[in-house]
Amino acid sequence: MTIMRTRQAVIQALSDELESDPTVFLMGEDIGSGGPFKATEGLIEQFGESRVIDTPISEMAFLGAGVGAAAMGMRPVVEMMFVEFIGVALDQLTTQGAFFRYLSRGAYQVPLTIRAAAGAGLGFGCQHSQMLDQWFRGNSGLSLVVPSNPQSMYGLLRSAIRSNDPVVVLEHKALYGERGEVITGEAGIIPIGQARVVTEGKDVTIVAIGSTVITAKSALESQNEWTADIIDLQTLIPWDRTTVINSVAKTGRLVVIEESSYSGGWGTEITSEAVSRLWGILKAPPHRITSPDAPIPYAQELEKRYLPSTDYVVSQINELIKTGKNPAPWWEGKN
């Protein structure tokens, strides 16, 4: 076990896969020099320019090239410097790569990993701070994982590279600098589709991904009124229904914390499933704590407010447990 930062866990996972499989290679903008988050630092020196390939700023070309190379038996790991950049190349992932196996009746497969820095909190403004998981949900043929700490970054990224289908890895940029213990090697690999139970409690199930796992933990630790099962989904597509439903069946209450717009958020699917499966045994209506329906502002105070804060999560859960009704979001009546 080693202590490392999340960005170092990225480097370690990439390095371990490059080492163990000659078909793995990296491709993206400025990855040779490490990129803005130093998440590929040192790899070009270690593995050379034929396995760490710097590309022009042409996302459609190099993401699509990832699809083509993957279909020919390579395992490309394509970096999108910021997840928004996938927008100019979305066709290649969602319409081409994701459907290649289906259309070819399994003759071609696309073992392609797309790493993308995502998430708010560092003042990158509305075009470099979104999660954008909603672009991929409902799209057959691909998976999506969201690490929340150095260990899950290492373990999920290695699984993504080993997957025989396209996998999007949303790397929360506010977590790159966080430190944690990491088990490397085979023992550190985390399967796609498996949630992690972070804490066990009796009053409420809190479902979170990426940065909101941190928020959930600090909310739990900052009060003594209630205990919680905190579930880090780790994989959003396909999400671990069994772990979530079993937990909510036990606690009777479900709260989802999402760092993205209220409308169309991933929590709608979680709460809908819980209501459908557990109708009649819920102690309170499932509740979503999200960001408002607005682009992400730059000014620090507003960006902080955009994100579900620890205090806000605590007050929302307190009210839910006390009243048995959904608390109103902070922005209600303000627009």
Partner 1 sequence: MITSLSRRQQLSTEVGRLERMLEIRAVEESIQNLYNDGHVRGSTHLANGQEAVSVGIATVLRPSDVVTCTYRGHAAALALGVTPEGVLGEICGRVIGCSGGIGGSMHLMDASVGLMPTFAIVGAGLPVAAGVALAAKLKKNDSVALTIFGDGSTNIGAFHETLNMASIFKLPVIFVIENNLYGEYTRINLSTPISDLADRADSYAMRKEIVDGQDIDAVISSISAAVEFARAGNGPSLIEAKTYRYSGHSRSDPATYRLPGELDQWKQRDPLNIAAERLISKGAFSGSDLEKMKAEITLRVSHAIETVLASDGPSLDELLKHVQAGGK
Active site residues per annotation: 128
Nearer to partner 1 by C-beta: 6 or 163? 163
Torsion on CA atoms 83, 197, 40, 69, rounded to nearest 10 = -70
Nearer to partner 1 by C-beta: 91 or 221? 91
In the DSSP assignment, the letter for residue 32 is T
In whole angstroms, the minimum distance from the beta carbon of 27 to partner 1 comes to 8
| Nearest Cα residue to 107 out of 157, 73, 152, 59 | 73
In whole angstroms, the minimum distance from the beta carbon of 192 to partner 1 comes to 9
Nearer to partner 1 by C-beta: 6 or 159? 159
Nearer to partner 1 by C-beta: 95 or 222? 95
DSSP secondary structure, 103-155, as one string: HTTTSS----EEEEEE-SSSS--TTS----GGGTTT-TT-EEE---SHHHHHH
Nearer to partner 1 by C-beta: 67 or 80? 67
Query: In terms of DSSP bridges, do strands 196-199 and 228-232 run parallel, antiparallel, or are they unpaired?
Result: antiparallel
Q: How far apart are CA 28 and CA 33, in angstroms?
A: 11
Q: How far apart are CA 100 and CA 122, in angstroms?
A: 37
In whole angstroms, the minimum distance from the beta carbon of 145 to partner 1 comes to 14
In whole angstroms, the minimum distance from the beta carbon of 311 to partner 1 comes to 41
CB 50 within 8 A of CB 25: yes
CB 207 within 8 A of CB 243: no
Nearer to partner 1 by C-beta: 64 or 329? 64
In whole angstroms, the minimum distance from the beta carbon of 161 to partner 1 comes to 14
| Nearest Cα residue to 93 out of 64, 117, 69 | 64
CB 276 within 8 A of CB 243: no
In whole angstroms, the minimum distance from the beta carbon of 60 to partner 1 comes to 5
In whole angstroms, the minimum distance from the beta carbon of 21 to partner 1 comes to 13
Residues that bind partner 1 (CB under 8 A): 25, 50, 53, 55-56, 58-74, 76, 88, 91-92, 95-96, 99-109, 140-143, 163-165
Nearer to partner 1 by C-beta: 73 or 295? 73
CB 270 within 8 A of CB 133: no
Query: In terms of DSSP bridges, do strands 75-80 and 24-28 run parallel, antiparallel, or are they unpaired?
Result: parallel
| Nearest Cα residue to 204 out of 290, 259, 274, 292 | 274
Q: Which two tokens stand for residue 213?
A: 């796992």
Burial class of residue 41 (count of CB atoms within 10 Å of its CB; 0-12, 13-18, 19+): middle
CA atoms within a 13 Å half-sphere pointing along the CA-CB vector of 232: 24
